[in-house]
Amino acid sequence: MGLLAQGTALDWPDAKKQAHLVRAWGIKQLLEIWNKAKVKERDAMLWGDEVEYLVVTYSKDDPKVLLSLRQADILAALADDKSLSAKGGCVPELQGDPASRTNEPLPVFHPEFGRFMLEATPGKPWGIEFKELLGVEPNMKLRRCIAKDHMLPNEHPITLTTFPRIGSPGVFTDPYYPVSGSKLRSQFVPDEIANPHIRFPTLAANIRSRRERKVQVNVPVFKDENTPWPWKDPTVNYDLHQWPEDDDVRTGGAAPDNFIHMDAMAFGMGSCCLQITFQAKNIIEGRQMYDQLSPLGPILLALTAATPIYKGFLADTDVRWNQISKAVDDRTAEEMGEKPLRNDRWRIPKSRYASNSTYISTDPRLRPEYLDPNLVIDEDIKQQLLDGGMDDRLATHFAHLFIRDPIVIFNEDLQELDLNKTDHFENIQSTNWQHMRFKPPPADNSIGWRVEFRPMEIQITDFENAAFAVFMVLITRVILSFDLSFYIPIAKVDENMETAHRRDAVLERKFHFRKNVFPVRPPRGNSGTSTPNSISRPPTPPRGPVEDEFRPMSVNEIINGTAYALGPDVEVDHEDDFPGLIPLVESYLDSVNVDVVTRCELATYLDLIRKRASGELWTAAKWIRHFVANHPAYARDSVVSEEITKDLVGAVVAIGEKEQKGEGFRGLDKQAAPDLGKLLGGFRGTSRCC
């Protein structure tokens, strides 16, 4: 997230009255920047990652582990420390590392929705050099170290996606605040859980006001041996009478049986993720990257699954995505289709936080059948964009984003339209949280068209976060240089996104995936290596039914290839013989000049992903489930107690400290962290390939 605007934020009824103006001005700003930037060429292939942290208080002798709400103080300490002198304490170990960019700008720390969260990005985006890929992990470690150095001794930045007991009865924040506040009106979390900057409480309050009830974040509970069934969330209070919204659980059916019930934005936007932004050389390439990375979203979501606990209970799902989706779902009952349309303009099938609903590329391989025939768009806005010269496909994309109302509007911004800004456009754009984001250049046109890949869950270690970041960079290079097509109907991407939520989907489920990803089918037995590049794309061959273009595949097949996944003895039709994304990356690396050391380092990252996909290594979700299941205090009743939470967070803190010291992960207290090898493999500390 960028700089935070200051001003007077409008409450919902007033904001609603200005929504039309914000959209109208937003479209004008979009056309302005589009006209300026549509001819931009040869922007550098830069990219950057974003890592989000929870800040917890933890010490061995304290029976409680809590969320620290000192985000503002920590950010202030970081900002005051201009030279980040504390870097001194972080750098020595990294200095000897050839991959550490010691002269580069220092990392940048950003606020996030949760007052217990931090975000950190590298000081400057990464470049195209392969060697730069080796800088990512040391830089992530540096960020974590600097963050820790600006915290209290008992505070720790950890990269769990969610705090296991956020919203549980009792104390879970430091300092403690009682529920319930006027903004969130949650019966589980205080308003003080959110970043106090006016943008965030307003965002939460206006989402609630717009939908005329609290958000309903219901997650199926994991049914264990001793879980009472049907299960009623024992933490729900049916007898509160402070806010009108307290009726939601009494008369609104907000808390159904067998679901963990949550009622506030913090349960979603309080989750941490790993995002990667790529700059394209021009708008055409950006549109291509947007489309081709889109079908990979659910696959990477399943591979990075890390969210098996909510509000002190084991969930029956493994990832955070749908919970965030529900936590910011501002649709009214009419828009949801629960009531006939009277006041609202459309029925809208998805939350504003959801998998993306359109493809936008100019690629002739994009068949109309892949698109959603019922996509909801604002026809007037589309017409304005067409009149402004934008092509139909891109105009459709933005006219879809612009069906949403702006949620947070600052009165000061409504005086006059400033075409040297993109604030109104960004207002709508940045509250459409789709799994891909197409980012136009900023108003000054100083940087290029960018595409953001947003579905991945944050991983416990920087080794893993670096591995997934690097993998996505390599995959993007492969897509562009081999001119690959991962197109499947957008509705199938939606289905895959749901599938990714299932427990252990990475091993247990199949995903719709395109069978032939090459511009033309390569000769038999030679898939991957002899692929033509984008300059010589052949004419599109005759096309059969769309349904013949894809089939259900396991993540193992998608990542490692059919031969690897099924073993050498299983015969498959040539047509069904998928090469695998890692073998494609390998053949790409074979085709370019990478020195031996770099190649070896990259191999350690690819290895992690290969083994995740094959099941040899576990997702964090699986590791956390095992941790809970093996804990002596676990009663097989789905309850993740304070004691278990303390030990789990303690294990995660210990892993982080080991990683910071570069000691590798062997020898960690097995008692505290059973099965660690399954999560992290037998991997190294700082010792690098040579």
Q: Does 46 bind ligand ADP (CB under 6 A)?
A: yes
CB of 112 to Mg ion, least distance (A): 5
Residue from the set 417, 447, 491, 594 that interacts with ligand ADP by CB under 6 A: 447
Reading the block at residue 20, the tokens are 């039309």
Q: Does 275 bind Mg ion (CB under 5 A)?
A: yes
List the beta bridge partners of residue 451. Answer: 278, 438
Burial of 506 (0-12, 13-18, 19+ CB in 10 A): buried
Residue from the set 97, 245, 329, 452 that interacts with ligand ADP by CB under 6 A: 452
CB of 119 to ligand ADP, least distance (A): 6
Stretch that binds Mg ion, among 1-9, 215-223, 416-424, 443-451 (CB under 5 A): 1-9
Q: 């208080």: which residue's tokens?
A: 57
CB of 521 to ligand ADP, least distance (A): 33
H/E run at residue 605: helix 596-614
User: Total binding residues for Mg ion by CB under 5 A?
Assistant: 4
CB of 44 to ligand ADP, least distance (A): 8
d(CA 406, CA 414): 13
d(CA 434, CA 120): 21
Q: Which does 122 bind (CB under 5 to 8 A by kind): Mg ion, ligand ADP, none?
A: ligand ADP
Residue 393 identity: R
Q: Does 128 bind ligand ADP (CB under 6 A)?
A: no
Cβ contacts of residue 475 below 8 Å, gap of 6+? 293, 296, 581, 585
Residue closer to Mg ion by CB (options 49, 586) is 49
CB of 223 to Mg ion, least distance (A): 31
Residue closer to Mg ion by CB (options 198, 236) is 198
Q: Which does 406 bind (CB under 5 to 8 A by kind): ligand ADP, Mg ion, none?
A: none
511 and 553 Cβ atoms separated by less than 8 Å: yes
Burial 664-682 (b: 16+ CB within 10 A, else e): bbeebeeebbbebbbbbbe
Residue closer to ligand ADP by CB (options 120, 609) is 120
User: Total binding residues for ligand ADP by CB under 6 A?
Assistant: 17
CB of 433 to Mg ion, least distance (A): 8
Q: Does 419 bind ligand ADP (CB under 6 A)?
A: no
d(CA 222, CA 232): 12
Residues 256-275 binding ligand ADP (CB under 6 A) are 275
CB of 297 to Mg ion, least distance (A): 14
Burial of 13 (0-12, 13-18, 19+ CB in 10 A): exposed
Distances in Å between the alpha carbon of 690 and those of 135, 136, 596, 684?
Answer: 16, 18, 8, 13
List the beta bridge partners of residue 309. Answer: 314
Q: Which does 180 bind (CB under 5 to 8 A by kind): Mg ion, ligand ADP, none?
A: none
Q: Does 457 bind Mg ion (CB under 5 A)?
A: no
Residue closer to Mg ion by CB (options 100, 121) is 121
Q: Which residue number places its CB atom closest to ligand ADP?
A: 48
Residue closer to ligand ADP by CB (options 50, 464) is 50
Residue from the set 32, 97, 119, 405 that interacts with Mg ion by CB under 5 A: 119
d(CA 438, CA 640): 39
CB of 276 to Mg ion, least distance (A): 9
CB of 670 to Mg ion, least distance (A): 34
Q: Does 1 bind ligand ADP (CB under 6 A)?
A: yes
CB of 114 to ligand ADP, least distance (A): 15
CB of 452 to Mg ion, least distance (A): 6
Residue from the set 15, 27, 31, 49 that interacts with ligand ADP by CB under 6 A: 49
d(CA 530, CA 598): 24
Q: What is the DSSP letter of 502?
A: B
Q: Does 285 bind ligand ADP (CB under 6 A)?
A: no
Q: 């985006």: which residue's tokens?
A: 125
SS3 labels along 299-321: HHHHHCCCCCEECCEEECECCCH
Residue closer to Mg ion by CB (options 78, 673) is 78
Terminal CA-CA length for the chain: 38
Burial 515-532 (b: 16+ CB within 10 A, else e): bbbbbeebeeeebbeebe
Residue closer to ligand ADP by CB (options 462, 586) is 462
Length of the chain: 690
Residues 183-212 binding ligand ADP (CB under 6 A) are none
What residues make contact with Mg ion under the rule CB under 5 A? 1, 50, 119, 275
Judged by the rule CB under 6 A, the positions of this chain that interact with ligand ADP are 1-2, 46-50, 110, 121-122, 125, 275, 277, 279, 447, 450, 452
